[in-house]
A and B are shown apart, each in its own frame.
Chain A
Amino acid sequence: MRIGVVTFPGSLDDGDAARAVRIAGGKAIRLWHGDPSLHNVDAVVLPGGFSYGDYLRCGAIARFAPAMESIVDAARGGMPVLGICNGFQILCEAHLLPGALTRNQHLHFRNRDQYLRIESADTAWTNTFSAGQEILIPVKNGEGCYVADERTLDALVAEGRVIARYIRGNPNGSQRDIAAITNEAGNVVGIMPHPEHAVEELTGPSLDGLGFFTSVLRALAGASAGGQQHAGGQ
């Protein structure tokens, strides 16, 4: 399976994301923000970092990159897309996910290992977890406070689209302790903490992050075997 990893000017974690794809057993395809071609990838990861220097708002300018226009179309057609940290911000700015990520409530950049509870295994990126499972992966952000209006938050909860929550401490003030959400189809996921930094004993606090990458490979294998229209849900 070919998993694309996009590099924007200012991306930081594209190398780690590509490595996580390889460790999970996928083929990592590096994509360039200025190239509208997705090079026949089956899924895309938008990595963490500071695309376009975080100018204006995090992710606001990346949204208009030629690669993003192709990714938005493909995501609407069911292609799995995972946005991590800055990638999550880009997905919100591109309106593929609701809400927005704002300055951490305490104004400090937070960098630590963070426990999460997986709330839904019904997405292309979480199907190898089980609901209620606790995982430990790094979090590192200055603008990771998830906000949306109450109606949107209620709908996300009611529809099972909050897929991971912060536990044992909320690092940034996110409403309802939201760490990750998905779209209605379950193919697009945004997550603030960094699963790609928790895939090897040497460098991560656990191997818990690997599950996001093995999940998409499983979703894609299931989709090609079953001929499903999209790879979300299981």
Chain B
Amino acid sequence: MARVVVDVMLKPEILDPQGQAVANALPRLGVTDVSSVRIGRRIEIEFAGEPDLERAREIADKLLANPVIEDFDIKVLDDATAEVA
């Protein structure tokens, strides 16, 4: 069964204080060459039948992402890819 993956990210112009907090913690791991961290959300949708990208787009636009502050990206993940991942 194929899954549709929706990646939701804050728009570049929206401040991401969570990402900043993570970036600020990295030097404590000895990591000093990271200039920016941004945190988003990955959502996996399984359809009962064939994956429906248009339907997924509608779900993402109406519920999964808030277009005021977030962008989203949709792709189909087939089983082979899923197992490797």
With A102-B14, A103-B18, A104-B17 as contacts: A93 and B69 at CB distance below 8 Å: no
Q: Are A103 and B17 in contact (CB under 8 A)?
A: yes
Chain A CB within 8 A of B26 CB: no
Quote the shortest CB–CB distance from B17 to chain A (angstroms): 5
- Of A57, A60, A93, A107, which one neighbours B17 at CB under 8 angstroms? A107
Indicate if the CB atoms of A56 and B64 lie closer than 8 Å.
Answer: yes
Contact count A vs B, C-beta below 8 Å: 33
Q: Which residues of B contact A61 (CB under 8 A)?
A: 63
Question: Size range of the interface on A?
Answer: 20 to 34
The answer to whether A60 touches B18 (Cβ under 8 A) is: no
Instruction: Report the separation of the CA atoms of residues A106 and B18 in the bound assembly, to the nearest whole angstrom.
Output: 9
**A to B CB contacts below 8 Å, 15 in the list:** A56-B63, A56-B64, A60-B63, A92-B68, A99-B68, A100-B69, A102-B69, A103-B17, A103-B18, A106-B17, A107-B18, A107-B21, A147-B15, A147-B68, A148-B68
Q: A interface, by DSSP: helix, strand, loop or mixed? A: loop
Q: Which residues in A have their C-beta under 8 angstroms from that of B66?
A: 57, 60, 93, 100
Closest chain A residue, CB of each to CB of B20: A107
**Chain B: which residue is nearest A107 at the CB level?**
B17
**Chain A, Cβ-Cβ closest to B15:** A105
Please, which residues of chain B bring their CB within 8 A of the CB of A56?
63-64
**Which of under 10, 10 to 19, 20 to 34, or 35 or more describes the interface residues of B?**
10 to 19
B17 touches A100 (CB 8 A): no
Query: What is A's interface to B at a CB cutoff of 8 Å?
Result: 56-57, 60-61, 64, 92-93, 98-100, 102-107, 147-149, 173
Max count, chain B CB within 10 A of own CB: residue among A92, A100, A104, A148 = A100
Q: Assess A147 versus B69: contact at CB under 8 Å? Given A56-B63, A56-B64, A60-B63.
A: yes
Which residues of the other chain, A, contact B14 by a CB distance below 8 angstroms? 102, 147
Q: How far is the CA of A46 from the CA of B37 in the complex (A)?
A: 35
Residues of chain B within 8 A (CB-CB) of A105 are 15, 17
Question: Which A residue's beta carbon lies closest to that of B69?
Answer: A100
Given known contacts A56-B63, A60-B63, is B21 in contact with A100 (CB within 8 Å)? no
- Please list the 9 inter-chain residue pairs (A to B) with the smallest Cβ-Cβ separation, ordered nearest first: A100-B68, A100-B69, A107-B17, A103-B17, A105-B17, A100-B66, A57-B66, A107-B21, A147-B14
Name the B residues within 8 Å of A104 (CB-CB).
17
CA distance A195 to B18 in the complex (A): 29
Cα–Cα, bound, A30→B30 (Å) = 55
A106 / chain B contacts, CB cutoff of 8 Å = 17
| Complex interface residues of chain B between 7 and 25 (CB less than 8 A to chain A) | 13-15, 17-18, 21
